[in-house]
Structure formats: C-alpha cells, structure tokens
C-alpha cells in the first residue's frame, strides 16, 4: 500500500516548487488530484449498486469510512466479517461481500486436506450471514500446488457440494473470487473465468457463483466486456482496479471503466460493484469518490 509519508513528501515538494516559482498554481492543480467536497454530491444515477473494499482503506477508521461512503452514495462495504457488521448497520450500509470463513487465499477448496476445516467454518458462518440479513460469502480455490485443472475442479466440486445445500436453505451465495496468477497470486487455481464457470456448472446451484475481479481478469485473460456478456449469469459480484498497479481507475490506466459498467448494466445485473483499488492520492476518499463517479453510468 502507498506509504502516507511518501504522499506527504510528494505534496510538500510540489508546494515548495510553487513557492519557488517553479510551478504555477494552475500547473500544480493539473498535477495534484482535486480535493472534492464530499458534502456537495451530484445524485448517483442508481444503475449501479456501489460498494467499496474495506482493506484498501485500512488506515481509515471504519466509522469514518462508513460516514464518507454514505456521503458519496455508496451502499455497501466489501470484505468485513461479523465483528464489524454492527458498525455497517449503524450507517445503513450493507455487507456486500462477507468474509471470515476462508482460511486464506492459498489453502482452499481445491485441496481435500483443507475440506474438513473449511466445511466447519462455512457451516458456522453461512447461518450468521443469513441472520444478519446479508447474501454473499467469499471463498477461494486455493493454490494449485501441482494440481491440474481437472483435479482442482473435482476437488472444489466435492467440497463445495457439501455446503451448497446449507447455502440454499439460508439464501446465501458462496462466491469464489477470480484472481490473477501472473502478478499478484502466483499459482492460484481459479485464475481464468472459463475455469470458474465450469465449476459453477458442475455444482449446479444458483447459490454458488463467481466474483469477477476486473483488475485480475484483465491481467490474466483480458477481453473483459466479451466475458461479461458471455458469462454474466455466473457472476454474483464485481471488483474494480486500475491496470497496471491496482490504483485509481481513471485515465492513468488502461481500462475504460464507463464502457465496462455499461456492459454490466446491460446484462441486468442487480448486485454490487465494489471499488478495490489502492488510492495514491493524498485524499484517499476523494480518489474513492472519483472512482464511484467514473462507474456511475
């Protein structure tokens, strides 16, 4: 994550340059992100249910993040567990992607050695998610560790089928995240949308779907809009992120998010799109606000 002291240093250098006459005030405005007034928001269009991932703003107290999210028009916070759900509810925010049952990103359902612990964790967590009034609970394939695609599919199907009945009974959706194995999560098995879709087909339940992370899939396979059009019925949730670097989703990176969001809306998607970029701006909330505005088509 970006070091706050680095942010401050860059800002101070620029301000010092202004004082020395090296950069004009108008020139600096084109370099530094605009600090946006969170209290004067243009109403969002309502076609996208906006959310934000908690971990990207871990240096901001959750109460403060929730307050800022509400002012922006965000409806949900991703990747928080039961201990923080009451804080979300205090601000009338939804836990748009619950977590807390997974072991980690590398020890997942593709390895039977972890099934007993995973099944215990998810059996306990699924009713908690339902009781709290939430819907989505994240899960992971885990690392390959030499397993081919078919073995991984077989093992994941075996483990997840032991939970999907409970998920159906509680109206909870188990959502496996697609992560890239090229840059960020070397050896992760669910690293292509086709592999994840095949897993969905084998499990055969509306209560098991995929988290299509746009950042990750741009890195590992590209063709984002075509994939959304072709496989949207298997996607329960979306994450954003600038490529390369997982930073702001504006013109500094290669994806054009307005077109991607329009494609998502066109499919009739009613779930959440969560901002999952690591802000580099001195004002992280201003960066978040811009990300939401870019995606609000």
- Residue 39 covered by a domain: no
Domain identity same for 188 and 287 = yes
Residue 182 DSSP symbol = T
Residue 130 DSSP symbol = H
Give me the count of residues in the chain.
297
- Residue 180 covered by a domain: yes
Domain identity same for 93 and 135 = yes
The pLDDT of residue 37 is 43
- Residue 36 covered by a domain: no
Domain identity same for 27 and 49 = no
Domain identity same for 13 and 63 = no
Half-sphere exposure at residue 21, Cβ-oriented, CA atoms within 13 angstroms: 0
Total structural domains in the chain? 2
Rounded Cα distance, 175 and 108, in Å? 13
Helix (H) or strand (E) segment spanning residue 103: none
Domain identity same for 3 and 85 = no
Domain identity same for 201 and 239 = yes
Task: Decide: 249 and 255 in contact? Cβ < 8 Å.
Answer: yes
Domain identity same for 222 and 85 = yes
- Residue 99 covered by a domain: yes
Contacts of 151 (CB under 8 A, 6+ apart): 110
Domain identity same for 203 and 272 = yes
Task: Decide: 242 and 252 in contact? Cβ < 8 Å.
Answer: yes
Domain identity same for 88 and 146 = yes
Rounded Cα distance, 126 and 122, in Å? 6
Core vs surface per residue 102-111: b (16+ CB within 10 A) or e:
beeebbbbbb
Domain identity same for 231 and 150 = yes
pLDDT in tens, the chain (297 residues): 444 444 444 344 344 433 333 333 333 333 344 444 444 557 999 999 999 999 999 999 999 999 999 999 999 999 999 999 999 999 999 999 999 999 999 999 999 999 999 999 999 999 999 999 999 999 999 999 999 999 999 999 999 999 999 999 999 999 999 999 999 999 999 999 999 999 999 999 999 999 999 999 999 999 999 999 999 999 999 999 999 999 999 999 999 999 999 999 999 999 999 999 999 999 999 999 999 999 999
Q: How many secondary structure helices (H) and strands (E) does the chain include? A: 11, 8
| pTM listed for this prediction | 0.86
CATH of the domain at 61: 3.20.20.150
Domain identity same for 84 and 200 = yes
- Residue 249 covered by a domain: yes
The pLDDT of residue 22 is 39
In the chain the first and final C-alpha atoms are separated, in Å, by 29
The pLDDT of residue 42 is 77
- Residue 251 covered by a domain: yes
Residue 231: name the closest of 248, 249, 217 by CA: 217
Contacts of 258 (CB under 8 A, 6+ apart): 294, 295, 297
Q: Which residue has the tokens 């997974």?
A: 102
Rounded Cα distance, 238 and 291, in Å? 14
The pLDDT of residue 40 is 52
Q: 14: helix, coil or strand?
A: helix
Domain identity same for 261 and 225 = yes
Helix (H) or strand (E) segment spanning residue 208: strand 208-213
Domain that holds residue 227: 44-295
């Amino acid at each position: 994550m970006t070091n706050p002291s680095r942010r401050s240093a860059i800002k101070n250098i620029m301000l010092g340059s202004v004082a020395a006459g090296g950069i004009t005030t108008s020139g600096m405005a084109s370099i530094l992100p605009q600090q946006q007034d969170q209290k004067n928001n243009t109403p969002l269009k309502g076609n996208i249910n906006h959310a934000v991932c908690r971990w990207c703003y871990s240096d901001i107290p959750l109460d403060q993040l929730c307050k800022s999210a509400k002012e922006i028009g965000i409806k949900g916070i991703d990747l928080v567990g039961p201990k923080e759900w009451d804080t979300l509810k205090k601000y009338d925010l939804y836990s748009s992607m619950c977590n807390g049952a997974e072991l980690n990103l590398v020890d997942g359902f593709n390895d039977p050695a972890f099934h007993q612990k995973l099944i215990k964790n998810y059996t306990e967590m699924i009713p908690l998610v339902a009781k709290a009034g939430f819907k989505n609970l994240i899960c992971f394939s885990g690392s390959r560790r030499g397993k081919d695609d078919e073995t991984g599919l077989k093992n994941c199907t075996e483990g997840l089928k032991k939970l999907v009945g409970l998920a159906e009974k509680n109206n909870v959706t188990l959502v496996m995240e697609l992560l890239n194995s090229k840059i960020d999560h070397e050896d992760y098995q669910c690293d292509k949308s086709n592999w994840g879709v095949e897993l969905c087909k084998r499990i055969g339940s509306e209560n098991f779907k995929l988290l299509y992370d746009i950042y990750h899939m741009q890195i590992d396979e590209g063709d984002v809009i075509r994939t959304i059009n072709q496989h949207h019925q298997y996607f329960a949730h979306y994450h954003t992120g600038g490529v390369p670097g997982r930073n702001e989703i504006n013109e500094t990176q290669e994806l054009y998010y307005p077109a991607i969001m329009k494609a998502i809306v066109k499919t009739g998607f009613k779930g959440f799109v969560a901002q999952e970029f690591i802000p580099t701006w001195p004002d992280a909330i201003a960066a978040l606000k811009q990300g939401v505005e870019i995606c609000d088509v």
